[in-house]
Structure 1
Amino acid sequence: MLRNGGVARGGTGARVLDAVTNSGTWVNEMAETYSTAIFTSVDIKPLVAHAPHPRIDFQVYNFPVGILDPDNTFDLGHVRQGVLATKDFNLLLRELHRVLKPGGYIMITELPFDAYEGDPPIPLRPSLYLSQAIQMGYETCKAEGADVAAWQDMSARLDPSHSLWENQHPDSQDIGPPRGFHGIISYEQPIPVGTWHPDEGQKLLGNLFRSYALNTLCSALPVATQRIEEVLNDGQSREFIEKIIHELNDLDMYRATYRCHTWLARKIN
Structure 2
Amino acid sequence: MAIEYFRRPHHDTDRSAMDADEPYFDQSDDDGTSSDVSDDVVEVRSDEIPQYFEEREGRLFHSHGSSPYPLPVDADEQQRQNGLNRLLRRLIGDSSVGPVRELLAFATGEQRRVVDLGTGTGQWVLDMAREFPHVRFYGVDIVPIATRYPPHNVIFEIHDIMEPFRYASRTIDMVHARSISMAIRDYRALLQEVGRILRRGGLFVSCEWSRVPAMADGSDIALRAPRVHAFFTAVRETLRMSLGIASVAQQIPRLLEESRLFTNIEAKRFHAPIGDWPTDPEMKAMGHEFREMMVVYARSMREVLLGGPYAAHAEELTQGYLHDIHTVPGIVSTCLTVHARRV
Looking at structure 2, the residues matched to 229 and 181 of structure 1 have their Cα atoms a distance apart, in angstroms, of 39
Q: Call closer, same or farther: CA 1:258–1:182 in 2, change over 3 Å.
A: same
Residue 163 of structure 2 corresponds to 65
Say which SS state the counterpart of residue 52 (structure 1) adopts.
coil
Matching of residue 125 in structure 1 with residue 206 in structure 2? no
Q: How many residues align?
A: 243
Q: Call closer, same or farther: CA 1:137–1:263 in 2, change over 3 Å.
A: same
Say which SS state the counterpart of residue 262 (structure 1) adopts.
strand
Residue 217 of structure 1 corresponds to 298
CA-to-aligned-CA distance 1:52-72 (integer Å, 9 cap, x gap): 211111111212111111111
Equivalence map 1:170-209=2 (5 Å): 179-209=260-290
Residue 246 of structure 2 corresponds to 147
CA-to-aligned-CA distance 1:169-216 (integer Å, 9 cap, x gap): xxxxxxxxxx51001110001111111122233222222221121111
On the 8 A contact 2:141/2:160 being kept in 1, the answer is yes
Matching of residue 243 in structure 1 with residue 341 in structure 2? no
Residue 332 of structure 2 corresponds to 257
Matching of residue 96 in structure 1 with residue 194 in structure 2? yes
Unaligned runs of 5+ in 2: 1-98
How many Å apart are 1:81 and its aligned residue?
1.7
On the 8 A contact 1:103/1:266 being kept in 2, the answer is yes
Q: TM-score, normalised by structure 1?
A: 0.81
Say which SS state the counterpart of residue 265 (structure 2) adopts.
strand
Say which SS state the counterpart of residue 114 (structure 1) adopts.
coil
Looking at structure 1, the residues matched to 306 and 139 of structure 2 have their Cα atoms a distance apart, in angstroms, of 33
Looking at structure 1, the residues matched to 150 and 293 of structure 2 have their Cα atoms a distance apart, in angstroms, of 26
How many Å apart are 1:94 and its aligned residue?
0.9
Say which SS state the counterpart of residue 64 (structure 1) adopts.
coil
Looking at structure 2, the residues matched to 261 and 92 of structure 1 have their Cα atoms a distance apart, in angstroms, of 18
How many Å apart are 1:51 and its aligned residue?
4.1
Looking at structure 1, the residues matched to 222 and 101 of structure 2 have their Cα atoms a distance apart, in angstroms, of 45
Q: Call closer, same or farther: CA 1:91–1:190 in 2, change over 3 Å.
A: same
Unaligned runs of 5+ in 1: 166-178
On the 8 A contact 1:39/1:55 being kept in 2, the answer is yes
Say which SS state the counterpart of residue 31 (structure 1) adopts.
helix
Say which SS state the counterpart of residue 245 (structure 2) adopts.
coil
Looking at structure 1, the residues matched to 324 and 137 of structure 2 have their Cα atoms a distance apart, in angstroms, of 40
CA-to-aligned-CA distance 1:76-111 (integer Å, 9 cap, x gap): 111112221111211111111111011101101111
Say which SS state the counterpart of residue 250 (structure 2) adopts.
helix
Q: Call closer, same or farther: CA 1:239–1:261 in 2, change over 3 Å.
A: closer
Residue 171 of structure 1 corresponds to none
Looking at structure 1, the residues matched to 296 and 202 of structure 2 have their Cα atoms a distance apart, in angstroms, of 36
Say which SS state the counterpart of residue 220 (structure 1) adopts.
helix
Q: Call closer, same or farther: CA 1:78–1:41 in 2, change over 3 Å.
A: same
On the 8 A contact 1:116/1:256 being kept in 2, the answer is yes
Q: Call closer, same or farther: CA 1:47–1:219 in 2, change over 3 Å.
A: farther
Looking at structure 2, the residues matched to 107 and 181 of structure 1 have their Cα atoms a distance apart, in angstroms, of 11
Say which SS state the counterpart of residue 254 (structure 2) adopts.
helix
Q: Which amino acid aligns with 1:151?
A: A
On the 8 A contact 1:2/1:34 being kept in 2, the answer is no
On the 8 A contact 1:192/1:256 being kept in 2, the answer is yes
Equivalence map 1:106-121=2 (5 Å): 106-119=204-217, 121=218
Greater mean deviation of Cα atoms: 30-39 or 184-193: 30-39
Matching of residue 86 in structure 1 with residue 184 in structure 2? yes
Q: Which amino acid aligns with 1:129?
A: R
Q: CA RMSD in A?
A: 2.4
CA-to-aligned-CA distance 1:212-251 (integer Å, 9 cap, x gap): 2111121232332344645x5xxx6544432322222223
On the 8 A contact 1:19/1:43 being kept in 2, the answer is yes
Residue 267 of structure 1 corresponds to 342
Say which SS state the counterpart of residue 156 (structure 2) adopts.
strand
Q: Call closer, same or farther: CA 1:83–1:242 in 2, change over 3 Å.
A: closer
Looking at structure 1, the residues matched to 315 and 162 of structure 2 have their Cα atoms a distance apart, in angstroms, of 35
